[in-house]
Amino acid sequence: MIIPYQSLEPDTLSAIIESFVLQEGTEYGSEDVPLATKIAQVKQQLKQGSAILVYSELHESVNIIPADQYQHDAGY
């Protein structure tokens, strides 16, 4: 299920994004990118619609994924 990012409190959204960018495997290239920059980039992707927040009933979790990878039958 897609969660409109605008429906979340700003602090909640920031916490979700921070958790996402701190996950192991989140790749930003060989340069060291400050956390605030990473958070701003993900917020921008959400605003542009190139990334979405999804709730997985199967895993009872919220994640951020590329919009073009969202599939209704993928457990989200």
What pLDDT sits at residue 25?
Answer: 58
What pLDDT sits at residue 73?
Answer: 45
**Helix, strand and coil in the chain, % to nearest 5:** 45, 20, 40
- In this predicted model, what pLDDT tens digit does every residue of 6-61 receive, in sequence order? 999 999 999 999 999 988 655 656 677 888 998 999 999 999 999 999 998 898 99
As a whole number of angstroms, the distance between CA 2 and CA 70 comes to: 9
Tokens read off for 40: 């701003």
pTM (predicted TM-score): 0.79
Domain covering 2-23+33-69, topology: Arc Repressor Mutant, subunit A (1.10.10)
The domain ranges of the chain are: 2-23+33-69
Say if residue 65's pLDDT is above 50.
yes
- Taking only Cα atoms into account, the Rg of the chain, rounded to an integer number of angstroms, comes to 12
What pLDDT sits at residue 34?
Answer: 86
Average of per-residue pLDDT across 60-72: 87
